[in-house]
Every structure is written in C-alpha cells, then in structure tokens.
Structure 1
Amino acid sequence: MYIQKTLCALMVGALSIFPSMAQQTYEEMEQLTVNEQVTTVITATEPIRFVDISTDKVVGDQPMNNTIRLKPKDSLYVDGQVLAIVTIVTERYRTQYALLYTTRLQEAVTDKEVQRQEMIPYNNPAVSMSTEEMTRFARQIWNSPAKIRNVSTKQHRMVMRLNNIYSAGDYFFIDYSIENRTNIRFDIDQVRVKLSDKKLSKATNAQVIELNPVMSLEGTKSFKHGYRNVIVLKKMTFPNDKVLTIEMSEKQISGRNILLSIDYEDVLSADSFNAVLLEEE
C-alpha cells in the first residue's frame, strides 16, 4: 500500500482529534537525515493506523503493519534541506519526524525505531482495544483450563473442541483446540470462520458469510499431535438458524479438513473477563 500525500481537509480532520498540546516546529522534532539512494525504515512498537507525508518530495510504503519505508524522490536538494514532515499514528500514540536531506550516504538513517520519549499519547476513537491488550487477553485464555466440554467434532481420527468463549469490549475471544490421533503431521493450509445455515434442504441455496478474525494468537503452520489457538472476532448477532463454523484445511490437494460448529446459544453464554483471569502472569 503506497502512502500518498493526504488531502489537506483530511489531515485537518485527523489532527482535530489529536490531544491538545504545545505547538512544535520542525527544529524541535526528532530529525532524520535521508538520501535518495538509501531506504529509511521506521518501525513502531504497535500497528500503524495512519501515515501522512507532508510533501511529494518523499515517497513511501507500508510493507508491514508496524513498519514504513521512506526515500526522497530525487537528488535535487542541498544538505540540511527539510524535505517533509512525516506523521505516524498508531493505536495509542502518534509521533512526527522532520526529514532532512543529506548528500552523504553514510549520514542517511537506514533504521529507526520509535522511542518512548517520542510517543505522544493518543486516544484513537477507531480502536476500542489495542493489539497489545488483545494479545495479552488471548494468551491468558490460551493458558486457562477449558470450561466448555460438550462442543466438539471428530473427523479423520482428529478431534476439534471448543474450549472457551469470552467477551471483552467489542470482541469475542474463541478458544479451540485440535487433537491429532494419527502419526501424520498436519500442515495447515488455511483456517476459515463462517456463518452458515444449520440445515439445508436440497432445494435451498446455502447462505454462507465469511468472517475475518481481528486477530489470531497462534501463527503455527504445522502440528503433529496437538494444536490450540484463540481467535478474536468483532461482536455480532446472528439468527438461531445459523451456526458459527471454524474450518481448518490441510495443504495437500487431497488433504484432510475438520470443521467445528458453534451454536448461537454458546456464543450468548460467553463469559466476561473477570479479575482473576486478567491478573498479570
């Protein structure tokens, strides 16, 4: 995704929701020296939600959710010339850097990590729970014992179980596991979450809605005997004739797949986080 200069009106609107603070000039900002032959990589401590480059003298992109890359367009500048101000907004803070041109390659910044003292606290209205909080909650659930014992499925000598469902803020945390009772390693192709009809007659067209988890705790791509994960979904309601399904498929063309169905009643019974669960590990 290429980062382009944001329209003035959009920038004014975005800045209006930043916390009020003393005015700051580029001379008071952290300054990064840049050169057209060097890519400057800036890494934030959490996902980046918004980036503005104040001029078109610098181009950039966002290869990862917490990383941006910047580079001057050409070499028609003099040492010390301010090319642009870059504004980075994450889930909980914002920071700004003045980009100064240098003709000397050895002076150009190649790698920059956002430091704590550069972070200006920011209450992002689009973020009700930060990725860090979400991950912490999910890890605590992953480490907790299973409270649900009656929701499971068996296929291909594997057992897939629902362990827990918790709610926090605007999200459901769904904890599930798979027991592989074979000696054949399972290489995960994909995990799909859907809303599907409970029962279908032959004359009825299937109505399936695919859901995209906000977060998945485990990035494991393969397991031999056991697998456990916590996925996070935006809170929703759905009719009683629908079920929430989690389907895992194997990479091989003739690979195995296993599907777990969760009734709406189980979703409604989701526990809220309690003080004990939220204690720091």
Structure 2
Amino acid sequence: MNHLRFIKQALCLLFLFFIFAGVAAAQSAERKLGELPLVEISSGVSLHIVSPEPISKVDVSSPAIAGDLLEKNVLRLKLIPDSAHLLLRQASSTVVLTIIGETFIAQYQLCFVPPGLEGIPALVNILPEHCQPLEVSGVGLSTPMMKSHAIQLLAKRRSVPIRKAEAYGLEARLNQVYTVGDYIFLDISFENSTALKYSIDELRFKIEDRKIVKATNAQSIEIEPIWQLYQSHNFKRNYRNIFVLKKLTFPENKVLNIELTEKQVSGRTVVLKVRYGDLLKADTF
C-alpha cells in the first residue's frame, strides 16, 4: 500500500511539474512593454532604423510620430511638429514601434525626450536579439539568405563559361547557374575591350523565340529579377553581378535572352542567349 501511495504521489508531482513548466513557457513567450528595448526620440531629429532585410510593415502606436521608408531596409521616424504634447499624455511617455521584416518581427519602446539633450540617437540597427522569428507565407529565401548564396557564387569561377556572346567590343558570359528551391541564381559578367566606358541603361531578361521568322509573329515575355547583388551603373573593363529569378520554364523553341543596353542613343547592345537546358543542368547549393 505504501508503495502504491508513493507512486501516486510521484505521478501527481510529475503532473504538476509539467503544468507549471507549460505556464512558465507560455509566460516566457510573452513580451511585456517593460521588456522591450528602449529607443529615445526627440523633436527636430530624425530617427533612422536599419533592418537586416527589407521591411514589409511598420506600426507606431501614436499619431504623434510619422514614418517612411527611405530604402527597403531603412525606416525614418520623426516627431510631427507641435505634437509632443500627445506623447506626454501617454503613460510613461512611451509608444510601441513594431517592425515586420521578411522573416522576423521586432518591437521597441519609443520614449520622447526634450530637444537639445546630448546622446539622442539618430540611427539604430535592428540586432538579432531584438528579433523574433516569423513564418510569413509566400516568403522562400530571405534577402540575407540570397546575399549569402550570391557571395558564395562570387568566390567560385568557372574557367569555361556556360554561354557567351560578343558584340561591339563587349563580351557577355553566363558563368554559373545555381538553384535553391524555387530560385535560380545567374552569375553573369561582361568584359569591355574598347577604350570607351560602358554606361548601363538596362539589363533585361526576356523569353523569346529562338528563331524569328517574321517580326510580327515574334513573342516576348519579360522576366523581372526579384533580387540582384549589386546595382547596375557603369563599368570601364569588367562587370560581374548575381541575379535571382523565380523558377521558370519555357519550351525548347524559345530562349532566355539577357540583353545589356547602353544609355546613349546609338548605344552598344549585347544579347546573351540562354537555353532551357542550361537551367536544367544548374548546380545546387
């Protein structure tokens, strides 16, 4: 009997342990106002928040603060003139700033301080410890992940390009093709053998007929890259970049034309033709 009583008591204690452990876990999942990182804001000083990835949504719990995106990952906040009294009326003079990126959510306390004080921040970086992972439907690779893969591609270099084309002293090369899930990474480079600097107007990706019999029958579907490692400007000798496309398919009688055009009226143009088989032979990370 004593043995059975001991077993029952042990089971009850174990049951209570799991209950309290669950409650503690639920409590630790909460983020209270006092636990949020504190950021000061003042009138006359714009506060810039830098995110590690593009910002998709922002919420500020006060009409006294206005915000806008200077870049995809740079949020600017500033106090609306003559609205400091709205913040002072709020409890503890704080408001909550919520920032949602591609894969995270971060929250801060914004505390109003009188103007003229030293040490008021003008720029704040969103740190990993400020972020809580967020599963957003429709988001495959985040921007930091794409950048990481692109840097890996830059460290590699094929001795023989997959495809190349020449025109007007320019040579275009498709160096590598890699895939990650539903994403295609294209490593493309251009070499200018002329003495004239090349000012890039556009770099376009178009699915077109391999052989065009009549111009009136030609069909063209433009593909917009979802991300690229560097912004395109101009180059004197060499230009190399990584472009990311969403997974695409096209029949064998069509090709993916990568067309580089110059800004001048009679600018130089070079077209690199990529076959569907080149994409099918892509390596994976």
Same fold (TM over 0.5): yes
8 Å CA contact 2:41–2:113 kept in 1: the answer is: yes
Cα separation, partners in 2 of 1:103 and 1:236, compared to 1, 3 Å: same
- Deviations along 1:75-134, whole A, 9 cap, x unmatched? 333648346311112233221012222333426542222233322233333332222221
In structure 2, distance between residues paired with 1:183 and 1:233: 33
How far apart, CA to CA, are the structure 2 residues paired with 1:188 and 1:134?
Answer: 24
Give the deviation of 1:144 after TM superposition. Answer: 1.6
Q: Deviations over 1:7-30 (max 9, x none)?
A: xxxxxxxxxxxx995322322212
Q: Which amino acid aligns with 1:56?
A: P
In structure 2, the gaps of 5 or more residues are 1-25
Considering fraction of residues, name the structure with more helix: 2
RMSD over aligned CA atoms reads 2.5
Distance in 2, matches of 1:149 and 1:42, equals 41
Query: What is the match of residue 106 of structure 2?
Result: 95
Equivalent residue, structure 1, for 2:137: 125
Distance 1:133 1:220 in 2: 21
Asked if 1:209 corresponds to 2:224, the answer is no
* Structure label with greater radius of gyration: 2
Counterpart selection for 1:23 from 19, 30, 34: 30
Q: Structure 1 residues 111, 143: closer, same or farther in 2, change over 3 A?
A: closer
Matched letter for residue 120 of structure 1: Q
| 3-state secondary structure, aligned to 1:209 | strand
* In 1, Cα distance between equivalents of 2:150 and 2:31: 39
Aligned to 1:104: 115
Which residue does the alignment assign to 1:231? 243
Q: Report the identity percentage.
A: 35
Q: Distance in 1 between matches of 2:207 and 2:50?
A: 37
Residue 195 of structure 2 is matched in structure 1 by: 183
Match of 1:70 among 64, 71, 77: 77
Aligned to 2:268: 256
TM-score (norm 2): 0.79
Q: Matches of 2:46 and 2:40 in 1, distance apart?
A: 11
Retained in 1: the 8 A contact 2:52–2:144? no
**1:152 alignment counterpart:** 164
Count of residues paired in the alignment: 255
In 2, the alpha carbon distance for the partners of 1:147 and 1:171 equals: 24
Could you tell me which runs of 5 or more consecutive residues in structure 1 were left unpaired when the two chains were aligned: 1-18, 274-281
SS at match of 2:86: coil
Q: Residues 78 and 102 of structure 1 are in contact (CA less than 8 Å); yes or no, is this contact kept in structure 2?
A: no
> How many angstroms does 1:62 deviate by?
0.7
Cα deviation, residue 150, structure 1: 5.5
